[in-house]
A and B are shown apart, each in its own frame.
Chain A
């Protein structure tokens, strides 16, 4: 048996979306659930089948009809299954399936149950299209589609104003990034005449000495797109607000899969970045800066989901850092392990929130480990994994990235230092969360925690196992598997001592972070307040997220709003467009009033007009106009014809 057709993979979620979206309101709940779960399950089964039969050669599947054909440019609707997309597909459909199952328990009491699952299936459809895309335009469809699904799901509780606004914010900020992506697409068409990934690679390989120039511009435009989707500096602002959506959505879209699309895109088009060291350097700097920036903010957040959101931004920064030092497979490796442990952490946070009846404030939690034993256990796995403590998954991938950065020379060592500090901060804020939620004394009296149902705990346990063992494959195996699609991981100066020493340093950093968190949030609970009091300005700056939202609002949003309201709203729309519309309406009205007199309703007057018309025609036919007047109507018409 051959590999099942690739188009089945996105087809199932699309069918689930259509069925639940159109009929879901009228169906009983168990049917909605069955449909919603069948879609990712079927997709996952097809992906597993493909993975089992995958023989190393990319499978290309093209729609037999050309999609766009303009002159020499031909764009097909094509899917490609290679090592890179296979790994992504396994993560997307696998984690997606687990989160669908989890959602059944989490959303059980919610209104709009069918709507939620139809959106979730829609997201899975577009994500599969994005991952399977054989050219940049198909990828763009998926790219925009996941943005749409993200918008719909952030604004799922649309009665809440903050949720509706968060959805809008995410959509608008992503538009900025999409602008970059689109410009990159146009430049690719203009310079290469194709959007197919393999053809771009061949064309670039054909001129070996081609460096910089237009490729740098394309790569930077792509980077802008990636920073929008993957919430990097300067376009990260939408992700923390995206936490307004239901928690499983935060886990699936805003932690595990969609936000990694930028990393995937860079890895997919790595040939472009390989020919532009400048753009690659920018990628690394953006990644490192975002990683440490978001990690510092994460230290001072009190909303459990916001801590995780900033942690996601920070971890995505790691992936960008890996791409920036051309260690794409390390980036994808971290993408995979991050999908496991961050989905786990988000879902565990969801379990805590669910158990506390909607409470998200860390300061009101505490001592929950007795009441929520399973959630506590899986969160512990997640925290250990993200902090980079062996043998949990995060250690392997983070270690690979830091090592890949370190061997890049002096600049790489600076990146390594930033990454190491970020690792320390990560460890501190994750253990802070852990201590504040599960250990110590309950801080609030009126919480009555209850453990979540098994539909929620099952996926949690599965993800915990993945977060534990997901890294054991090792970066060497992983990168050699990915090498055909992302290029080999060139770790020159591979000295066993260096790698070992760096690993020991990384573990030491993680443990140091744990120790700091232990002292600050467990041994001496009064210490954080003292610390904040010692440097009030710094604390305030961090607690207010560096005032970035305020700065954006003052510099970009408010002037734009003013311009729109005053110039576009009053002058253009009100005066020019409104005036024109009014003028046209008035003219039409006047004409109507004049012509209305004709419609007297008197049969004989109508007949008279008919007779008059007939008489006029007769007159025209009978009178020899040419003789009367040299410039006849016929000659006039002929003259106009020429």
Chain B
């Protein structure tokens, strides 16, 4: 993000985009049944947050925000590795990825 973009596009647009992406992530998380899709929704929410981080970093000329983004990406990578492993394990056992049927813990 450089000075040109900052002059051309107002801050609120970035934030609105970020909020829209986050809301999409939440909606996907809540309404999708497939575990993989839910997983993708989580990634979407993380990246929406990342977008707002870099927006503010550019706005306030603070590098902290960008550092945070790197952290979030790192954690997200680790999380997706673990998450995918869990999903595969669940699929092997249950032969389904529909979350409504994966409620074994309750019983």
Q: Could you tell me the distance between the alpha carbons of A611 and B10 in the complex, rounded to whole angstroms?
A: 28
Binary CB contact string for chain A from 244 to 282 against chain B (1 if under 8 A, 0 otherwise): 000000000000000000000000000000000000000
Q: Which of B47-55, B71-79, B97-105 contacts A (4 or more CB under 8 A)?
A: B97-105
CB-nearest residue of chain B to A611:
B26
- How many residues of A are in contact with the other chain, CB < 8 A? 9
Chain B residues, Cβ within 8 Å of A608: 30
Residue contact B100 to A602, C-beta cutoff 8 Å = yes
B29 and A607 contacting across the interface, CB-CB below 8 Å = yes
Q: Contact at B103–A602, with CB atoms within 8 Å?
A: yes
Could you tell me the distance in whole angstroms from the C-beta of B102 to the nearest C-beta in chain A?
Answer: 7
Interface string of A518-530 (1 = CB under 8 A from B): 0000000000000
A600 at the interface (CB under 8 A from B): yes
> Cβ of B92 < 8 Å from any Cβ of A?
no
* Distance of B106 from chain A, by nearest CB (Å): 3
What CA separation (Å) do A602 and B26 show in the bound complex? Answer: 16
Interface size class of B (residues with CB under 8 A): 10 to 19
A161 within 8 A of B: no
Q: Do A601 and B106 have beta carbons less than 8 Å apart?
A: yes
Q: Would A599 and B102 be within 8 Å (CB), given that A608-B30, A611-B30 are in contact?
A: no
Which of these, B30, B105, B106, B107, contacts A604 with CB under 8 Å?
B30
Partner of A603 from the list B26, B31, B99 (CB cut-off 8 Å) is B99
Q: Is the CB of B99 within 8 A of A601?
A: no
Nearest Cβ on chain A to B99's Cβ, whole angstroms: 5
- Residues A598-624 near B (CB distance < 8 A): 599-604, 607-608, 611
State A601–B100 Cα separation when bound (angstroms). Answer: 9
**In the complex, what's the smallest C-beta–C-beta distance from B12 to chain A, in angstroms?**
15
CA distance A602 to B103 in the complex (A): 6
A608 — nearest CB in chain B belongs to which residue? Answer: B30
Residues on the A chain within 8 Å of B107, using CB: 601
Interface residue ranges of B1-32 to A (CB < 8 Å) = 26, 29-31
**A599 to B103 CA separation, bound complex (whole angstroms):** 11
CB B49 to nearest CB in A, in angstroms, measures: 12
A-B contact count (CB 8 A): 25
**Chain B residues positioned under 8 Å from A601 (CB to CB):** 103, 105-107
Main secondary structure of the interface of A (DSSP, over half): helix
Chain A residues closer than 8 Å to B31, beta-carbon distance = 604
B99's closest neighbor in chain A, by CB? Answer: A603
Closest chain B residue to A603, Cβ basis: B99
Residues from chain B with Cβ under 8 Å of A611 in the complex:
26, 29-30
Alpha-carbon separation in the docked complex, A602 to B30 (Å):
11
A607 vs B32: C-alpha distance when bound (angstroms)? 12
C-alpha gap A607/B102 in the complex (Å): 15
> Per a CB cutoff under 8 Å, which of B38, B102, B106 touches A600?
B106
| Pairwise interchain contact A599-B30, C-beta atoms closer than 8 A | no
| A604 touching B103, Cβ below 8 Å | no
Specify the chain B residue showing the minimal Cβ separation from A605: B30
Residues of A within 8 A of B106 (CB): 599-601
CA of A603 to CA of B31, assembled, Å: 11
A205→B2 CA distance, assembly (Å): 97
A607 and B30 form a contact (CB under 8 A): yes
Expressed in whole angstroms, the Cα–Cα distance for A607 and B33 within the complex equals 12
Q: Which residues of A contact B99 (CB under 8 A)?
A: 602-604
A223 to B102, CA, bound (A): 76
Across-interface contacts of B38 in A (CB, < 8 A): 603
CA distance A601 to B31 in the complex (A): 16
- The docked-state distance in angstroms from the alpha carbon of A601 to that of B99 is 10
Complex CA gap A391/B101 in Å reads: 100
Distance in Å: Cβ of A570 to nearest Cβ of chain B? 43
Residue of A nearest to B42 (CB): A607
Give the shortest distance, in Å, between B35 (CB) and chain A (any CB): 9
A599 to B100, CA, bound (A): 14
Chain A residues contacting B26 (CB-CB under 8 Å) are 611
| Distance between Cα atoms of A611 and B26 in the complex (Å) | 8
Chain B residues with CB below 8 A from A602, complex form:
99-100, 103
Instruction: Report B-chain residues with C-beta under 8 Å of the C-beta of A604.
Output: 29-31, 99-100
Q: A603 vs B100: C-alpha distance in the bound complex, in angstroms?
A: 7
Cα A498 to Cα B107 in complex, Å, equals: 97
Give A603 to B38 CA distance when docked, in angstroms. 10
Complex Cα distance A480/B106, Å? 85
Measured CB to CB, the closest approach of chain B to A549, in angstroms, equals 64
Residues of B near A607 (CB, < 8 A) are: 29-30
| Chain A residue at minimal CB-CB distance from B27 | A611
A603 vs B30: C-alpha distance in the bound complex, in angstroms?
9
Within 8 A of A (CB), among B56-107: 99-100, 102-103, 105-107
Closest Cβ of chain A to B27, distance in Å, is 9
Query: In the bound complex, what is the Cα–Cα distance between A607 and B99 (angstroms)?
Result: 12
Collect the chain A residues with CB atoms within 8 Å of residue B100's CB: 602, 604
Q: Determine the distance from Cα of A603 to Cα of B42 in the docked complex, in whole angstroms.
A: 14
Chain B's closest residue to A601 (CB) is B106
- The residue on A at minimum CB distance from B103 is A601
- Give B107's nearest chain A residue, CB to CB: A601
What are 25 of the A-B contact pairs (CB < 8 Å)? A599-B106, A600-B103, A600-B106, A601-B103, A601-B105, A601-B106, A601-B107, A602-B99, A602-B100, A602-B103, A603-B38, A603-B99, A603-B102, A603-B103, A604-B29, A604-B30, A604-B31, A604-B99, A604-B100, A607-B29, A607-B30, A608-B30, A611-B26, A611-B29, A611-B30
Instruction: List 10 A-B pairs, minimum CB-CB distance, nearest first.
Output: A601-B106, A601-B103, A603-B99, A607-B29, A611-B26, A608-B30, A604-B30, A607-B30, A602-B103, A604-B99
Extra pairs beyond A600-B106, A602-B103, A611-B29 (9, CB < 8 Å) = A599-B106, A601-B103, A601-B107, A602-B99, A602-B100, A603-B103, A604-B30, A604-B31, A607-B29
Q: A residues bordering B, Cβ < 8 Å?
A: 599-604, 607-608, 611
